Amino acid sequence: MTARQPVRWMPDERSRQILAAFAASKESTPSVLRRALELLAQADGIVDHRGKVKTSGRQT
């Protein structure tokens, strides 16, 4: 079995802001997690830049 390579994560600007806010203000964990999930959802294209869920077509 071979050793796994460590993840080399380079935070983007939004991630950097989230981490800095947590470190500076001792922001509560639920708030940080909520913002992190929003960031991931944006990166995956699930929500738009305003945090609204994208729909694939017209809803009736």
pTM: 0.46
Which parts of the chain register pLDDT below 50? Answer: 60
Query: What is the rounded distance in angstroms from the CA atom of residue 53 to the CA atom of residue 45?
Result: 9
Assigned domain for 38 exists: yes
Tokens 């050793």 identify what position?
3
**DSSP symbol at 3:** P
Residue 13's pLDDT is what?
86
Assigned domain for 24 exists: yes
Residue 12's pLDDT is what?
82
- Which amino acid type is present at position 23? A
Domain hosting 28: range is 18-43
Assigned domain for 54 exists: no
Assigned domain for 22 exists: yes
Our count of domains for the chain comes to 1
